[in-house]
Each structure stands twice: as C-alpha cells, then as structure tokens.
Structure 1
C-alpha cells in the first residue's frame, strides 16, 4: 500500500483519483474504439455511475479525488436512468450494455489493484498473510499497524479472469452481472465494511442481494424480449 506518489520538491499526489480516472478512461476508450455511436450515452452512464457510487457520502459526493466509491451502488442505481436515457434516444440498450460489460472488468481490475490496494481502502480482514497498511493510508487510520489480507489484489485478479469469461460469452451483460455477483464473495474477507445480516442461519449482505437482483432482472427481461421477438417473427412469416 502506498497512497501517495512523490513527484519531487516535497510534492505528493494521491494514487486513488489517478487510478480511478485511468480505469474509467480506459473503459470509455475501449468502448468507443469498438463503436463510437454511443459517446453521449456512455458519458451519461459514466456520470450517473460516479454520482450513484458516492450517493451516501452526502456533502462529500463531489469530492471525486477521495475514496468512497461503491461499485454496487454505482451499478445498481445508474443502470435504470441510463436505460431510460437509451430508450428516449431510441438506442439499442441491449447492445450498449453488452458493449460496456465487455470492457468493464478491465477497469474494475485496474481500479482494485492500483486504486483500492495502493490507497489502502476496501482493505481486508486482519490476517497472518498480507501486508501492513501504509501510515498515510485510509486503512491505517482505522486499524493501525495491523497486517491485512490483500483482498483488493484477489478481487483485481478475479476481474482479470472475468474479462476473458465475459469476452468469450454471447450474453455479455448477464455473464458480467454473474461475475459481479460472484465477486461479492470477497465481502467475507473484507474488513472495511460489514453489511451482513443473518437469513436462515446464513450470512448474506445487502450488496449480494443487489447483485442477485440485477442479474435475475436482466436475465428475465432478456428472456421476455426474446419471446416477444420470436412471436413477431412468426407473425411476419405468416
């Protein structure tokens, strides 16, 4: 963990906002490189995602250089206004979300490894296997000089694997959301948040429910649309 970069003359710049900016810009570049017809929609989606991911920060919501981005809140909330925006503009929303889903894992991998891990946010539970947080990191402010499990690195690795899984799938949006749901397993070894509650003797979290809801909703909507398209094709043939 090393949250600040020394650029000389006693000047330090924070790693987190740089990593965040690079990860978002990288995904945007890859999406527009493949299809530049969605520039306006992508800008709307990114803006909505950023604000949604910081919605619970109150007056600090616009302090984009600080940590506090919530992946699940960003994905869950921004999905709906972006969908409405796409429908208003009569754009192919299924294709758009597939396009974004293809490259989103790259951005998430970069952000987890070079943003969260180096900045010392989203830290893991105390563990004999791990790293001591840097005195300037957010983790150190909360847990002190305690060796922490590097959950950010493992989650970053998972998103690298997810990129290849999503890229080789036909239904990229659904598979990405499945990978997102699986990634919530890492919550069990995170030490910065505790959104768990017991259900039938099993510990589950709010974010796990949110990711499952998005996955089920997406699969259901796609199934319904597919059935409607088949009926229309049959009618046209007759």
Structure 2
C-alpha cells in the first residue's frame, strides 16, 4: 500500500493523485472525441463540469445511505453529545464515496445541463460520458489499491497488504487484488467503447452497452471484495443490487435503440424506393 506520496515536503494522497490523472486523461480523450462529432467545445466542458458536480455530491450521498446506521445513531445521541461530536459523526457517515452514486450523479448532472441547453444532442453527450467513465474509473481503482480504502478477500494469490492506514487489521494478510482486476476490465471496456464511438455506431447506444457490461463484472467482483462495510441485503451487497437494476435498464435501452434504428432504416428504404418509382 502507498496511501500517501511525499512531494516537496508535503504528503499527497495517492488516491487524489490518481483521480487528478484520470480527470486530465479523460479531458484529453473527450476533447479528441468531441471534435469527431463536431460538438461545440464549450458545451462539452459545461456538461462535464455539471456531471462532475453531480458525481461528487451523489457519491457521498450514497455512501451516507449505505452507512445509515451511523447517521441514526448520531441522531439518537443528540443531547448527550456535543454539537462538534455530532458534526464529526455525520461527516464520517458521508465522508466516503461510492462509485455507483457518482456514476448516477454524473448522469443527473448531464440531464440538468440538457434541461438548460436544449439544443445539444443528448446522445452525443451520453456517448462521451460512457466512454470516459471506465477510463476514469480505472485510474480510481488503482488509487483504491494504493490507498487501501477497499481491498479483496484473503487469498493465496495476490498481494500482502502493508501500510494500510484505513483498515490496519488487513496488514500482513495476502489478499486478492480485486481493485487491479476491476481496473484492467475497465480499460478493456474503455477500448471497446472508444472503438464503437469511432465507428459512429448508433448514437446514444454506448451508455446502454456500458450499463450492461460494467454491472456484469462488477456483480462478479463483489464476491472477491474483503471490505464488508458497504452493506449487505439478502446476501448481496448494495452494489450488486444496483448492478442488477442497471443491467436491466441497459438491456431495455439497447433493445429500444436497436428497434428504433431498424424502424428508421426501414422507413428510409421505403421512401427511397417510392422516390425511385416516380
């Protein structure tokens, strides 16, 4: 584990470094892809800022909801603890971040932007979002591995955790590198999505492809997670339940998109034939 990096006499969190690198890399990729679709650069920037704000807010909100017991306990102790202690407990409850909360918050942020800028093609923006999310997420998962904020189950294959300041009890134990496995799969998904984007596939389809593919391997990888504080419901984690819902949404979205595209092609073909007979 390498939770902090010393640079010029200062300690910088390794997760923060990876997050910044991810944002910068995504910025370069999005700029390149936006030019291919001839999207106004200012609109791309504003949409991504709106998405980022949504991601930051909702990632912490979902973390708080998962840790609702801490919030309930803090509320129950009002009057018996100081105000500062109450604030600290609430801050702790919302102090972490959950990826799915951030992902859904990003979608919400883009929708807010589209409500204001009605002339922007929503399909183009969501295609860009679908391509950039797994790339940024890959950097984030490497940051998780370095920081030790999440970790895998005990395993004969993997890495022995050392220097984990978030969960010291896991130090000295060999664990499956679930964060690195997810980072690798995210890179593969990014490569597939950017290939489809460059082929100018059905616009607006990529976000639904993402909603089917990522939840599939996320659901499986959850069984290899060792950090159990993320909430369990009927034997499945919170993220697994969300994965099921998003997979269904993705399947429905792909079906509708492909159906509409087939109907559109049929309509164009019939009109061309009608014109040729005149």
Q: TM-score, normalised by structure 1?
A: 0.80
Question: Which of 41, 59, 64 pairs up with 2:91?
Answer: 59
Give 2:32's aligned residue.
33
**Would you say how many aligned residue pairs link Structure 1 and Structure 2?**
228
Residue pair 1:127, 1:148 contacting (<8 A) in 2 also: yes
Partner Cα distance (1:95, 1:82) in 2: 11
Question: Which of 169, 176, 194 pairs up with 1:149?
Answer: 176
Give 1:179's aligned residue.
213
Q: TM-score, normalised by structure 2?
A: 0.69
Distance of aligned partners of 1:52 and 1:235 in 2 relative to their CA distance in 1, 3 Å threshold: farther
Higher Cα radius of gyration: 2
Unaligned stretches of 5+ residues in structure 2: 35-40, 65-89
Shift of 1:130: 1.7
Give 2:83's aligned residue.
none
The Cα RMSD (Å) is: 3.1
Give deviations 1:128-166, integer Å, cap 9, x for gaps.
Answer: 2122222243232x5343221111111111111111221
Give 2:74's aligned residue.
none
Give deviations 1:90-111, integer Å, cap 9, x for gaps.
Answer: 1211111111212322211122
Partner Cα distance (1:236, 1:50) in 2: 48
Shift of 1:48: 0.5
Give 2:192's aligned residue.
165
Question: Which of 203, 222, 241 pairs up with 1:206?
Answer: 241
Shift of 1:87: 3.8
